[in-house]
Amino acid sequence: MKVDDGLQLLKGLEHLLERQIELAGRGSFIEIQRLADECEPLVAEIKKAGVLEKPEHKPQRQRLAKLYKDLQLTLSTQKDEATEQLKSVRKGKKTLAIYRSNI
């Protein structure tokens, strides 16, 4: 595999990760999953070719590690927000049930 080919694979993965981070911030989880499915064969090809092990791709390797960390943090934040919203909804339902039983 030529260096340019490996670089193109890495840039493609980087683009998909950036897009996932953007979508995670908006809570578009179905679209995130679709992009994750697109990442799988790309990651497999990168791994098979050993692109990330090459010293000339160290900056891209570091950038991808940062993007994966950012994606994980963004998804974790969204999960926490969804959990809090769910707690609020449950509390509201309990309150309504109490009011209903007292009528």
Structure tokens at 31: 């679209």
pLDDT tens digit sequence for 24-41: 988 888 999 999 999 999
* pTM score, whole prediction: 0.77
pLDDT tens digit sequence for 66-76: 999 999 999 99
Residue 3 pLDDT: 58
| Rounded-to-10 torsion of CA 13, 14, 16, 17 | 120
State the Cα–Cα distance between residues 55 and 90, nearest whole angstrom.
Answer: 53
CB 61 within 8 A of CB 52: yes
Residue 96 pLDDT: 87
